[in-house]
C-alpha cells in the first residue's frame, strides 16, 4: 500500500526470510562466514544460538545459497521427534527405502552405506537440526552418535544445531556430556542496538529501492529498538506497521507517534501486564503491614522494661556503630578511587588482546558500545562500575568500525553468563547489556 509513496519497489520488511535482504551487520555476516568455514573443515558439530526472531532461519537459507553444489542438506524440523525415529527420518530424506519396523542397527547400516556413496561421489551431507533446544535428550544423543560415522580423514555427516539460548542449558545436562564435547564451533546471534537498527533499516529500504534521505527519524529508531528487543522479526513487523501509519498520515518521515500507533495492538496485553504489577505490589504492601503489626505485638508482649532498656542503652550504640561504619565506607570508597588507574580506558584496551589470547571461555557480557569519539563517556562509565573486585574483569575492544565495545568477564557456558547477567548492578545495566559469543 505504501510502496509508491516511499519510492519502494518491493516490501522491505516482510517476515518471510528473503536471502536478497540478508543483513551482514551485527556480526551476521561474520557468523555466516564462520559456519561456512566450519563446514569446509569437516570436523565436529556446529551450534548456532539466537533468540526467537534473531535470524536463524535466514542464516540457514543463506548457507544453502553459499555452499558448493556438491552439498546435500537434510533437515530435522520436528523438535519433538523421538530417538527411535531419527535414523528413519534422515534416511527417508535421503531417498532411502527403509521400513519403520526395521531395527535401528539395520537402518544405520543402510544410512552409513548411502553416506559412503555420497563421499565417493565427492558430495558432503549436512544435517540441519532446527529448534534443537526442544529436542529430547535421547534424540540429541542419537544425533551425536551419527557424528561417529567417518572416514580416516573426514566426517560422513556434518551436523548443525540451531536453537534458542535454552539450548546451552539443555546440553549442560550430564547425560549428554559427550554431545557437548563434540561441539567444536559455537556461534551466537546478538540482538541489535539502536545504532545497528538504524543501519539495518537503511539497508532494507535501500535494497527495496528507496533512494534519498532516511525515512525513520532517530527517536523513532530508538523506540523501535526498545520494543523489538533487538530481534529482526519483531523489528520487521513494527517497521512495516510504522511505515503504514506514516503513509496514512501523509508524513514523509516515520516519527515516534507512528511507532506508537504500530504498537497499539499491544496495548491490551500491556495493560494486563501493568494490572498484574499492581496486584503484586498490593500483595507485597499487605505482607509488609502484617509483618510490622506482628513485630509490634511481639515487642509489646515482652513488656515495657525491655522497650525502655532498648531506648536507653542500644540506640546510642547503634548510632555510634553506624557513624563508624559510614566513615569506614567513605575511606574504603576513597581507596577504591585511588586504586583505579589514571587512564582506565587505555589500561583495559591493552588488557583486551592478552585476555583474548589466553581465555578458554566462549561467552562474555557486552556492557556498552560507543563510537571512538565518545572516549570520555566510556571512561566515565567504567569508573562508575569499577572496583578492585571487578576491574580486572572489564575489557575494551576498539573494533574495526571505530567503536569501543566494553565487555565483562568470560564464561564457559551460556548458563553461567546468563546467571552473571542477572546479578549485574544497576550501574552496569545502564546500556542494556547482553550475552555474546567470543570469537576464537
Mean pLDDT, residues 263-273: 55
Domain final residue pick, 160, 188, 216: 188
Same domain as 211, residue 170: no
* Residues forming a β-bridge with 188: 49
Do the domain assignments include residue 317? no
Determine how many CB atoms are found less than 10 A away from the CB of residue 362.
21
Are 179 and 211 part of one and the same domain? no
- pLDDT band at residue 319 using 50, 70 and 90 as cut-offs: very low
Predicted confidence at residue 29, as pLDDT, reads 92
Shared domain for 226 and 112, answered yes or no, is no
DSSP letters spanning 60-112:
HHHHHHHS-TTEEEEEE--TT--HHHHHHHHHHHTT----TTS-HHHHHHHHH
Distance CA 47, CA 188 (A): 8
The percent of residues above 90 in pLDDT, for the chain, comes to: 33
Q: Count of domains in the chain?
A: 3
Please name the residue that has the C-alpha cell 550501574.
427
CATH (domain of 400): 3.30.70.1070
| pLDDT (average), residues 387-399 | 82
| Pair (128, 245) in one structural domain | no
Of 188, 210, 232, which residue is a domain's last?
188
Co-location of 165 and 212 in the same domain: no
Residue 145 lies in domain: 27-188
pLDDT over 80 (residue 290): no
Asked whether residue 319 is domain-assigned, the answer is: no
User: Is residue 62 domain-shared with residue 153, that is, in the same domain?
Assistant: yes
Residue 110 in any domain: the answer is yes
Q: Which residue has the higher pLDDT, 116 or 359?
A: 116
- Residues 55 and 144 both lie in one domain: yes
pLDDT greater than 90 at residue 202: yes
Top-confidence range, 140-149, 171-180, 372-381 = 140-149
Q: Which of 100-109, 194-203, 420-429 has the lowest mean pLDDT?
A: 100-109
- Give the integer Cα–Cα distance in Å for 194 and 208: 21
> What is the CB neighbour count within 10 angstroms for residue 292?
10
- Read off the pLDDT of residues 418-435 as tens digits, 9 standing for 90 and up: 788 888 888 888 888 888
The CATH number for 218's domain is: 1.10.8
Please check whether residue 423 lies inside any domain of the structure. yes
Q: Quick one: pLDDT at residue 286?
A: 59
Q: What pLDDT is stored for residue 31 in this prediction? A: 92
Q: Does 98 score more than 90 pLDDT?
A: no
Residues 31 and 148 in one domain: yes
Q: Which helix (H) or strand (E) holds 169?
A: helix 166-170
pTM reported for the whole predicted model: 0.63
Do both 114 and 163 map to the same domain?
yes
Among residues 253, 268, 283, which one ends one of the domains? 268
- Domain contains 2: yes
Q: Examine the domain organization and report whether 107 and 250 are in the same domain.
A: no
Q: What is the DSSP string of 272-289?
A: HHHHHHHHHHHHHHHHHH
**Shared domain check, 129 and 48:** yes
pLDDT at 318: 38
Q: How confident is the model at residue 340 (pLDDT cuts 50, 70, 90)?
A: very low
In a domain, 195, yes or no: no
Confidence class of residue 439 from pLDDT cuts 50, 70 and 90?
A: low
Strands 394-399 and 434-437: unpaired
What number is the average pLDDT over the span 15-39?
90
pLDDT tens column, 58-69: 999 999 899 988
**Residue 316: pLDDT band with limits 50, 70, 90:** very low
Average pLDDT on 381-385 reads 86
Cell numbers 519403520 correspond to 100
Q: Are residues 48 and 136 in the same domain?
A: yes
Amino acid at each position: 500500500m505504501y510502496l509508491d509513496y516511499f519510492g519502494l519497489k518491493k516490501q522491505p520488511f516482510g517476515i518471510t526470510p528473503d536471502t536478497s535482504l540478508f543483513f551482514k551487520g551485527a556480526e551476521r555476516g561474520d557468523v555466516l562466514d564462520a559456519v561456512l568455514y566450519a563446514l569446509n573443515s569437516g570436523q565436529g558439530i556446529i551450534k548456532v544460538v539466537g533468540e526467537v526472531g534473531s535470524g536463524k532461519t535466514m542464516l540457514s537459507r543463506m548457507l544453502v545459497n553459499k555452499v558448493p553444489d556438491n552439498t546435500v542438506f537434510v533437515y530435522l524440523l520436528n523438535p519433538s521427534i523421538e530417538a527411535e525415529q531419527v535414523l528413519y527420518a534422515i534416511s527417508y530424506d535421503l531417498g532411502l527405502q527403509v521400513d519403520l519396523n526395521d531395527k535401528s542397527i539395520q537402518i544405520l547400516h543402510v544410512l552409513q552405506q548411502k553416506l559412503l556413496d555420497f563421499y565417493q561421489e565427492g558430495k558432503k551431507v549436512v544435517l540441519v537440526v532446527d529448534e534443537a533446544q526442544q529436542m529430547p535428550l535421547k534424540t540429541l544423543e542419537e544425533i551425536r552418535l551419527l557424528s561417529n560415522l567417518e572416514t580416516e580423514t573426514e566426517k560422513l555427516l556434518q551436523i548443525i544445531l540451531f536453537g534458542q539460548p535454552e539450548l546451552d542449558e539443555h546440553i549442560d545436562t550430564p547425560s549428554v556430556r559427550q554431545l557437548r564435547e563434540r561441539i567444536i564451533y559455537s556461534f551466537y546471534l546478538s540482538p541489535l542496538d539502536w545504532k545497528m537498527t538504524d543501519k539495518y533499516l537503511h539497508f532494507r529500504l535501500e535494497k527495496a529501492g528507496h533512494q534519498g534521505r532516511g525515512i525513520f527519524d532517530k527517536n523513532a529508531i530508538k523506540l523501535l529498538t526498545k520494543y523489538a528487543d533487538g530481534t529482526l522479526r519483531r523489528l520487521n513487523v513494527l517497521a512495516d506497521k510504522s511505515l503504514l501509519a506514516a503513509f496514512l498520515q501523509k508524513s514523509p518521515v516515520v516519527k515516534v507517534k507512528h511507532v506508537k500507533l504500530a504498537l497499539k495492538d499491544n496495548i491490551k496485553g500491556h495493560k494486563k501486564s501493568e494490572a498484574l504489577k499492581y496486584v503484586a505490589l498490593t500483595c507485597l504492601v499487605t505482607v509488609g503491614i502484617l509483618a510490622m503489626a506482628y513485630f509490634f505485638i511481639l515487642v509489646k508482649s515482652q513488656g515495657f522494661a525491655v522497650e525502655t532498656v532498648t531506648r536507653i542503652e542500644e540506640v546510642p550504640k547503634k548510632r555510634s556503630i553506624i557513624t563508624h561504619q559510614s566513615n569506614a565506607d567513605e575511606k574504603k570508597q576513597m581507596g577504591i578511587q585511588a586504586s583505579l588507574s589514571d587512564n582506565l580506558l587505555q589500561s583495559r584496551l591493552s588488557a583486551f588482546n592478552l585476555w583474548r589470547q589466553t581465555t578458554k571461555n566462549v561467552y562474555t557480557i557486552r556492557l556498552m558500545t560507543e563510537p571512538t569519539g565518545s572516549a570520555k563517556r566510556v571512561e566515565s562509565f567504567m569508573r562508575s562500575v569499577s572496583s578492585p573486585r571487578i576491574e580486572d574483569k572489564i575489557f575494551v575492544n576498539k573494533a574495526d568500525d571505530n567503536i569501543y565495545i566494553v565487555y565483562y568477564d568470560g564464561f564457559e557456558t551460556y548458563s553461567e553468563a546468563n546467571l552473571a547477567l542477572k546479578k549485574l548492578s544497576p550501574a552496569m545495566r545502564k546500556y542494556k547489556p547482553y550475552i555474546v559469543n567470543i570469537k576464537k
